[in-house]
Structure 1
């Protein structure tokens, strides 16, 4: 009967009516006229207790009734009218119940119709107020539960959408990365750099083992990301030799801290692609990663090449931005700054993920 209603709520309703009896009767003891009057206090306690039993039953009925009939924004008029009818029914039944109680306590000295007449006036208004109060409280309680369930369902849907979006982005990113890496090895082979090609294949093998190790996870401990990035940088250095200098500046970071998988690689790749290598000049890429007050701060900066200055940022850059948004929600920021000679990409995101379902 009380399915879906927390036991704490039922207990709170019962406790409320018990306390209301105690406080209402106790307040009579402090009335000087009533204290001097010869009234039967046992009858007072009995009447108040029986009334509390009625209102307790009415409250529990209202909790059950509004479980599936919440008065919300949609269909407000019809639901509100139904709630008013319930309050009116409680009032009528309450007046009849009070009359019966009065007759029973007076041992028949007061007739039923006389007792019923006594309820018109203040007692009727008091009973009506109690009915409205119970109906409003029961509806408010279930409306709160309803909105919370809606928020939980919305959060679950958002989690599923985020996971689907992340999977799609990973599906786009990994072939893109592998394609560019194979192009780099092909360039070494065309230059007849045999040892460099062998070393590059070994580096690629290490990268692929890392990708297989990750699987479908979106977060890995920071040492994994750092090692993966160093393998990629070593692979690119074999290709460009002394024309490429990638400088990693890493602050003190606990080893087990989770970090988005393969986040640095596409940013470094983007910096190399749009750097001065296309002009035959040396390319220096500065990569800074620090963890400050439980927030990651990542920055990749490079000098802009004249040939590639007006090119697009590429798939990797846009994927990195979308992945951070999908994992961390609005708590992640991804920005770019461009001056006359330098281009800087910066990202800031929390140590903890937005959704519990997205993680290592």
Structure 2
């Protein structure tokens, strides 16, 4: 049996522990009955107690699932109250069963005696509740640990992928070719500035871990370096606009998340048109989310199921992969820009360095 697979399947693991625990409860009480030399009919009482306990405690599971997202204090209150109610109900059932089978239909004179020994049953239900939450938190901890291991493993792959879509050989070739041309026409000052920007951009892209996050300000500085280099190539054909909300500068984003999207826009929107075009970068906050948007006014592309249909395209796919690794909740939407072009919108949780 694959125990790891069994543990990861939460529903199957719950039923295994739930049924196994109550069977164990019945076995312990059966062995205890042998010490007291009870009649054979007591076995049926033990079995019924275990069956009733399993059924009543099963209801606690659904109560706790509803209360799972409450504050710790409220969860503790729900556990205590629910365990007590379940314990009283279980003990009433146990007493009735015992009197009916073992005492031949005995009935107490006072109704409160039906709840006799409820404290013992409450402790049993409370113990069940403690095991339920303990095991569930352990499973969550293991799941988070697995995510960390997966993220570390993907980081090594992401480093290689970064070289593929951040340090595109065509980008380096075109940049070096532009520098060479500037030197030939004695534009040494411009060539020197371009070399400096290229050096800063390469240093930033190689130093930053693709699985770590940087501030919006740092990310836009790196993006500006890249766009300044490209602007030397395209001159007036490339227009750049930034629209950044004041409360977003310190928000955290994955490093180099915008550059491959800007590179796609330049390759398919600016370079594809003789007259060039405009790339617009927007950063804003919406409720508890940070929105990153890059749009262009190029010829656009075919969008199939929210993805661009382009052969050999890796920038968008790698961006999705990185977002999925870093965030439980995110969105990346590709849509048509009005009146023409493409718009890529990324939405991630808003976090800052202070947090």
Say which SS state the counterpart of residue 247 (structure 2) adopts.
coil
Of 245, 248, 251, the residue aligned with 1:251 is 245
Task: Give the Å deviation of 1:139.
Answer: 3.0
- 1:1-360 pair list within 5 angstroms: 72-74=14-16, 77-88=19-30, 134-178=123-167, 179-189=169-179, 191=181, 194=184, 195=187, 196-215=190-209, 218-253=212-247, 255-305=249-299, 311-312=310-311, 314-329=313-328, 331-338=329-336, 341-352=340-351
Name the counterpart of 1:36. none
Task: Give the Å deviation of 1:159.
Answer: 2.7
Over 3 Å counting, the alpha-carbon distance change for 1:81 and 1:272 in structure 2 is same
Say which SS state the counterpart of residue 166 (structure 2) adopts.
helix
Distance (whole Å) between structure 1 residues aligned to residue 182 and residue 27 of structure 2: 90
Q: So what's the TM-score if we normalise by structure 2?
A: 0.62
Measured against aligned partners, the alpha-carbon deviations of 1:314-344 in whole angstroms (never above 9, x if no partner) come to: 2222212221221112x21000012673211
Measured against aligned partners, the alpha-carbon deviations of 1:337-357 in whole angstroms (never above 9, x if no partner) come to: 12673211111111239xxxx
Unaligned segments of structure 2, at least 5 residues: 1-12, 39-101, 303-307
Mapped contact 1:207–1:231 kept (Cα < 8 A): yes
Say which SS state the counterpart of residue 327 (structure 2) adopts.
helix
Over 3 Å counting, the alpha-carbon distance change for 1:229 and 1:192 in structure 2 is closer
Cα RMSD over matched residues? Answer: 3.8
Distance (whole Å) between structure 2 residues aligned to residue 297 and residue 263 of structure 1: 12
Task: Give the Å deviation of 1:176.
Answer: 3.1
Distance (whole Å) between structure 2 residues aligned to residue 94 and residue 197 of structure 1: 97
Q: Size of the alignment, in residue pairs?
A: 262
Q: Which moved more, 1:308-317 or 1:286-295?
A: 308-317
Q: Which moved more, 1:222-231 or 1:156-165?
A: 156-165
Distance (whole Å) between structure 2 residues aligned to residue 72 and residue 87 of structure 1: 23
Task: Give the Å deviation of 1:216.
Answer: 6.1
Distance (whole Å) between structure 1 residues aligned to residue 248 and residue 293 of structure 2: 19
Q: So what's the TM-score if we normalise by structure 1?
A: 0.61
Task: Give the Å deviation of 1:168.
Answer: 2.1
Say which SS state the counterpart of residue 278 (structure 1) adopts.
coil
Task: Give the Å deviation of 1:262.
Answer: 0.9
